[in-house]
Chain A
Amino acid sequence: MASLPKRIIKETERLVSDPVPGITAEPHEDNLRYFQVTIEGPQQSPYENGVFNLELFLPDDYPMEAPKVRFLTKIYHPNIDKLGRICLDVLKTNWSPALQIRTVLLSVQALLASPNPNDPLANDVAEDWIKDEEGAIKTAREWTEAYASKKDQKSTN
Chain B
Amino acid sequence: MNQPITDASDFAQTAIPQLTQLDKLLRCHICKEFLRVPVLTPCGHTFCSLCIRQYLRQDPKCPLCLNELRESSLRSEFLVGEIVEIHKSSRQALLDILKEYSRTESKGDSPLIELGSQSDADDDIQILATTDRKSLRPSTIGSSVNRVTKLTGVRSLLKNHNEGNKSKQHMAQCPICEQFYPIEALERTHLDECLTVQSLGGQPGSKTSERKAPSPVPRKPSPPKTVQYKHNEDNDTSSHVERYINSSNSGDRQRLPKVTFASMSVAQIKQKLASLGLPVNGTKQTMIARYDQYEMLWNSNFCDAIEPVDVNELKRQLLSWETTQNNHGSSNIGGISSMMKRANGSKPYQKLLADFKNDKFERKSWIQMFRQDFKSLVKEARRQLIKETTNEIESQKDNTEETVKTQS
Binding site for B on A (CB under 8 A): 1-7, 9-11, 13-14, 17-18, 28-34, 57, 59-61, 63-65, 83-84, 94, 96-100
A2 to B322, CA, bound (A): 10
- Chain B positions within 8 Å of A33 at CB level: 400, 404
- Chain A positions within 8 Å of B400 at CB level: 4, 31-33
In the bound complex, do residue B58 and residue A64 qualify as a contact, i.e. CB atoms below 8 Å apart? yes
Binding site for A on B (CB under 8 A): 1, 5, 7, 9, 29-33, 51, 54-55, 58, 61, 63-64, 66, 324-325, 327-328, 359, 367, 374, 378, 393-394, 396-397, 399-401, 403-404, 407-408
- The listed residue (A7, A28, A61, A64) touching B32 by CB distance below 8 A is A7
Chain A min CB distance to B59 (Å):
8
- The listed residue (A4, A28, A63) touching B30 by CB distance below 8 A is A63
A95 to B58, CA, bound (A): 11
In the bound complex, do residue A30 and residue B367 qualify as a contact, i.e. CB atoms below 8 Å apart? yes
Chain B min CB distance to A73 (Å):
13
A98 to B32, CA, bound (A): 9
Q: List 27 A-B contacts (CB under 8 A).
A: A2-B401, A3-B393, A4-B393, A4-B396, A4-B400, A6-B1, A7-B32, A7-B33, A10-B5, A10-B7, A13-B5, A14-B7, A14-B9, A28-B403, A28-B407, A30-B374, A32-B400, A33-B400, A34-B407, A57-B407, A64-B58, A84-B359, A94-B66, A96-B61, A97-B29, A97-B51, A97-B63
Do A98 and B403 form a contact, CB below 8 Å, given A2-B328, A9-B393, A13-B7?
A: no
- Chain B positions within 8 Å of A28 at CB level: 403, 407
Query: Which residue from chain A places its CB closest to the CB of B54 in the assembled complex?
Result: A64
In the bound complex, do residue B5 and residue A96 qualify as a contact, i.e. CB atoms below 8 Å apart? no
- Chain A positions within 8 Å of B394 at CB level: 3
- Chain A positions within 8 Å of B327 at CB level: 2
Chain A min CB distance to B17 (Å):
14
In the bound complex, do residue B58 and residue A2 qualify as a contact, i.e. CB atoms below 8 Å apart? no
In the bound complex, do residue B32 and residue A10 qualify as a contact, i.e. CB atoms below 8 Å apart? yes
Do A4 and B7 form a contact, CB below 8 Å, given A30-B403, A96-B64?
A: no
In the bound complex, do residue A3 and residue B29 qualify as a contact, i.e. CB atoms below 8 Å apart? no
A84 to B361, CA, bound (A): 14
- Chain B positions within 8 Å of A4 at CB level: 393, 396-397, 400
A83 to B66, CA, bound (A): 30
Query: Which residue from chain B places its CB closest to the CB of A8 in the assembled complex?
Result: B400
In the bound complex, do residue B58 and residue A65 qualify as a contact, i.e. CB atoms below 8 Å apart? yes
In the bound complex, do residue A6 and residue B9 qualify as a contact, i.e. CB atoms below 8 Å apart? no
- Chain B positions within 8 Å of A14 at CB level: 7, 9
- Chain A positions within 8 Å of B51 at CB level: 97
Chain A min CB distance to B360 (Å):
10
A94 to B62, CA, bound (A): 11
Chain A min CB distance to B249 (Å):
25
In the bound complex, do residue A31 and residue B404 qualify as a contact, i.e. CB atoms below 8 Å apart? yes
In the bound complex, do residue B9 and residue A18 qualify as a contact, i.e. CB atoms below 8 Å apart? yes
Which of B5, B54, B374, B400 gathers the greatest number of chain A CB atoms within 10 Å? B400
A30 to B404, CA, bound (A): 9
Query: Which residue from chain A places its CB closest to the CB of B7 in the assembled complex?
Result: A10
Query: Which residue from chain B places its CB closest to the CB of A59 in the assembled complex?
Result: B408
In the bound complex, do residue B328 and residue A98 qualify as a contact, i.e. CB atoms below 8 Å apart? no
A32 to B398, CA, bound (A): 11
- Chain A positions within 8 Å of B31 at CB level: 5-7, 63
- Chain A positions within 8 Å of B408 at CB level: 57, 59
- Chain A positions within 8 Å of B29 at CB level: 97-98
- Chain B positions within 8 Å of A31 at CB level: 400, 403-404, 407
Do A32 and B396 form a contact, CB below 8 Å, given A2-B325, A96-B63?
A: yes
Chain B min CB distance to A44 (Å):
29
A10 to B367, CA, bound (A): 26
Which of A6, A14, A17, A30 gathers the greatest number of chain B CB atoms within 10 Å? A30
A65 to B63, CA, bound (A): 12
- Chain A positions within 8 Å of B61 at CB level: 96
Do A9 and B5 form a contact, CB below 8 Å, given A64-B54, A83-B359, A96-B64?
A: yes
- Chain B positions within 8 Å of A57 at CB level: 407-408
